[in-house]
Amino acid sequence: MKKITQYLPGGSLSATVLLLLLLIVPFLIYKYVSKGTNNFVKLAVIGDEGHQIPDFAFLNQNNDTITNSDYDNYIYIADFFFTRCPTICPVMTYNMKYIQKKLNIYPGVKFLSFTVDPENDTPEVLREYIKSMRINDENWNFLTGSKDSIYSIANSYFAHASQDSTQPGGYSHSGQLILVDKEGRVRSGYSNFVCKECGDVSKKSLMTCPTTGKNFTYEGNPIGTYDGTKDHIIKDLIKDVKTLLAEYHNNPKIERLEKQ
């Protein structure tokens, strides 16, 4: 102790603090890293094996042609709406704005909205809608094009879009938000987890079977797509975007855990 204290002001007290820091800091780092890796669960890939969003080309609010390549190497959230929608669209757009704000520190995230009423929703109309809704469209494209092309691509997002005179506003469309990864695959988190051994249902994953004691027996039930009108689902989506971003860090500890 003398060798340490003779170089430190404050004598033995400073030396004690230094020794405590040397002991505690590595432990805290270990706990932080451990927590970040051991609780990691990759999101589900939705659809048949190999399913991806097909190539597309639509005009955005600035009359620019937007294609898949504009979203290469980006995670993005998509939805289907129309500017004259009298029901759920304003809520969905507000929630997309909320997600955008919450994720604005992540440069690898974008947003995409397809109109289901392209005859009315020209680029100029979309631009006015963006202005009226006070939307930051720096990383958010609002797309218009032919009805057939938009209605067709909706299917690849596991959404629906159609003209329907029985619906308010004359159109029918999904109220879902869709999470797409960098490879163009639809991804989602889980509603719950079920143990393969005993059938126990839990909100948590990678737990030990309470009956047999076996590890990693819980399988998740994917959400699929996210209800764009419900606040608690929006919070889940934000969390799942962060989880998806973490997947691209290629942490070897995470990959080893997921293979078990």
Residue 24 shares a structural domain with residue 50: no
Residue 27 shares a structural domain with residue 49: no
Domain assignment present for residue 101? The answer is yes
Read off the CATH number of the domain in which 122 is found: 3.40.30.10
Residue 160 shares a structural domain with residue 240: yes
What is the residue range of 112's domain?
42-189+224-260
At residue 5, the pLDDT reads 45
Q: What is the pTM of this model?
A: 0.77
Residue 59 shares a structural domain with residue 101: yes
Cα 145 to the chain's mean position, in Å? Answer: 26
At residue 37, the pLDDT reads 39
Domain assignment present for residue 200? The answer is no
At residue 255, the pLDDT reads 40
Tell me the pLDDT of the chain (260 aa) as tens digits. 544 444 445 555 555 555 554 445 444 433 433 333 335 678 999 999 999 999 999 999 999 999 999 999 999 999 999 999 999 999 999 999 999 999 999 999 999 999 999 999 999 999 999 999 999 999 999 999 999 999 999 999 999 999 998 998 999 999 999 999 999 999 999 987 778 778 878 777 667 888 888 887 777 778 999 999 999 999 999 999 999 999 987 644 434 433 43
Residue 23 shares a structural domain with residue 79: no
At residue 211, the pLDDT reads 82
At residue 258, the pLDDT reads 37
For the chain, the domain total comes to: 2
Domain assignment present for residue 62? The answer is yes
Domain assignment present for residue 92? The answer is yes
Domain assignment present for residue 219? The answer is no
Residue 61 shares a structural domain with residue 92: yes
At residue 116, the pLDDT reads 97
